[in-house]
Homo-oligomer: A and B are copies of this chain.
Amino acid sequence: MELKSYLKERCTIVDNALERYLPAEDELPSSIHRSMRYSVFAGGKRVRPILMLAACEAVGGTIEDAMPAACAMEMIHTYSLIHDDLPAMDDDDFRRGRPTNHKVFGDAIAILAGDALLTEAFILMSSPEYSARVGTERLLPVIREIGYCAGSRGMVGGQVVDMESEGNKEIDLATVQYIHTHKTGALMKASVKAGAILGGADKKALEAMTKYGEAVGLAFQIADDILDIEGTTEQIGKDAGSDEARGKATYPAIMGLADSKRRAQELVDIALTAVEPFGAKAEPLREIARYIVSRKS
């Protein structure tokens, strides 16, 4: 398979679905809906939804089985970026080369747009049409899993520890690993698990997918840390070297660049081994795992 065209095609499919699912810009109050859409359609690579669709297909489901949950996941990811960029948090003016949400709509609307996107994710997943399609016995565990991985014991928890660690020179590897597996890893793992559940995975398949999701989630963040050092500002769409400038807890800062690269590759190997039993249907998952550590942006 040709990964680049696969990702591009999947990105378009997800974008079209998001376009259908999100409230229209002219639906009142329009300022909040414009703000929500501004950040959802700000050039995201849709890594999480694409992973969810691929996991669903790998266990025998269709992309339609996973699409609403995949779009819900992207809404949650987007809300977290909007809130992270706020002056009270990371105070970022640009993301992917565009002004951040609060720079365009103001802090208050940015906070509310984040809140509304998080809420919209759960509205979307609990629709009667969706439960009629996949069955409530699959849907409720997916809502639960995604909620858990997004909440205070998942992504939000990772963000808290990340913030509290900033500028602290004494951070150990366990703390960096906590931040990475929670702040980024949790949603990636939840994406893969949700896709597998929605596709009808049995217990063994779900365990294999969970292993894949955990490995890929952590590898993704380590690769991000490495890109922050090795990538150019143009490639990564934010200031290169900004992690170090902020005293952020990263893998390279703790274990060095060479060992970080080695660790990322090990994780990819773990991911590849985990999805071996799924054969050809898991080819996209394999390609994505390899891509995650080799990408340049």
Contact = CB atoms under 8 A, between A and B. Distances in A.
Given A28-B157, A83-B115, A111-B111, 14 more contacts: A23-B153, A29-B164, A32-B152, A32-B156, A33-B152, A79-B115, A86-B111, A88-B108, A89-B108, A116-B156, A123-B151, A126-B140, A127-B144, A136-B140
B109 A122 contact: no
B128 A160 contact: no
23 contacts: A27-B153, A29-B161, A29-B164, A31-B164, A32-B157, A32-B160, A36-B152, A83-B111, A83-B115, A86-B88, A112-B156, A114-B115, A116-B151, A119-B150, A119-B151, A119-B156, A120-B151, A126-B144, A128-B140, A131-B140, A136-B139, A136-B140, A139-B140
Name the prevailing secondary structure of the A interface residues. helix
A131 B109 CA distance: 35
Interface of A: 23, 27-29, 31-33, 36, 79, 83, 86, 88-89, 106-109, 111-112, 114-116, 118-120, 122-123, 126-128, 131, 136-137, 139-141, 143-144, 147-148, 150-153, 156-157, 159-161, 163-164
Contact of A31 (B86, B131, B160): B160
